Amino acid sequence: MRDLPDAAESQSAAVPALHGLVVADFSRVIAGPVCPQTLADLGADVVKIENPRGGDETRSFRHPRAGGNVSAFLAYNRGKRSVAIDLGKPEGRAVALDIVSRADVLVENFRPGVMARLGLDHATVAAIKPRLVYCSISAYGRTGEFSDRAGYDPVMQAETGIMTMNGLPEHEPVRTNLPFVDMSTGMLATNMILAALMARQVSGRGQQVDVVLYDTAVMLTTYYGHNYLISGEEQVRYGHAPLGNVPIGNFRASDGSFYLSVGNDRMFGLLCRIIGRDAMASDPAYATVAARAESREALIDELQAIFSTRSREAWVTLLKGAGLPAGPVRSIFEAYRSPEIRARGLLSRIRHPTAGEVPNIAPPYAMQDTPIVAPSAPPLLGEHTEEVLRDMLGYDADRLRELETAGAIPPRQTGG
């Protein structure tokens, strides 16, 4: 990791876009934490409120660790401050309400009804802080007959048809291992919060924002959903290649696979010249998009025979050099050592109190004049409890001792 740049070295003196915005983050796992992490990247002060007994569930995932810190927690919680509060105790709930009363945004993804039992529901806190933007992320929505169901990303992939779009047609449907429903839900929540903050500038009032995993998953079916709505027919898996254009998909070179995407007749003609088969471009069986779709298997077999004669690097170099979209099928190991990821400056390291340093993947966005903040390490559990209660809430030493005695906050900082 020492060969990665220090993320702090990229810090700008300009004021970030969300400087001064305070976020009370009650979220856990993935879909919730992605949203406040993005707000932190943009300059918000994100206070993550966690149970002193273990904190966010991702802290205990059986993933690789750096200095006792789990990779899953590190991935979704940079730039935040952690306050450990026992919300099961009235004294703890009072502290949480104090934090919320000073916040501009609240993010939570508990099961519907939990925040109400804690006295932290929208109706309660809006009466105290009418300008608060209150974002609730749930599996099936806060109301309706399915609202009490638990739900996670893989279940959403299964229930909404996404899983049936993945994999080869002759095999069972395949889950996408990357939690893209969770990630997309978190990104949509960020968009909705920013929209609500814009609306607040006009109305002077905050509002509740609802973002739902199931609804997001349905949205992610994109044109496959529209295909069904128009045709009324069941959709078919096409493996590595989508419905329609050919050739698009994986091809095997002599030493590995690469992905090629030829989306129109012009590109196909260019491909034919590259592979030394100019006559294929005018062959009636291959000359048009429709013809290539009808001759899918024969065309793919012919191309596969050609591509197997040279190395992956040789073909990708030729294809990319001609302007055709193509790239090697890399493992994560290969991708994170690729020239592209280095050229984009996507990897860095962050100083960390127990690990010394931890890796960081840069956010995939930038603004010309307003900086993304230099990331700080994801917090240790309860690392900032005393700091936040003292500096944000104005609690003195006696008040902190009272809360410790009541068990509302831990007696000292904890790690993990």
Encoded tokens for 209: 């924002």
> How far from 352 is each of 30, 37, 72, 360, 377, CA to CA, in Å?
21, 17, 16, 11, 6
Q: What is the distance between the alpha carbons of residues 346 and 410, in angstroms, rounded to a whole number?
A: 37
Handedness of CA 346, 347, 350, 355 (dihedral sign): positive
Annotated catalytic residue: which of 182, 391, 396, 398?
182
Please state the three-class secondary structure of 102-122 as a single string: CCCEEEECCCCCHHHHCCCCH
Using alpha carbons, list the distances in angstroms from residue 132 to 26, 100, 411. Answer: 14, 8, 31
CA atoms within 13 A of residue 201's CA, in its CB half-sphere: 5
C-beta neighbour count of 360 within 10 angstroms: 24
Quickly tell me which residue has 């944000």 as its tokens: 392
Catalytic, 396? Answer: no
Tokens 């996670």, located at residue? 152
Eight-class DSSP state of 162: T
Omega of the bond prior to 371 within 30 degrees of 0, cis? no
Catalytic residues: 182
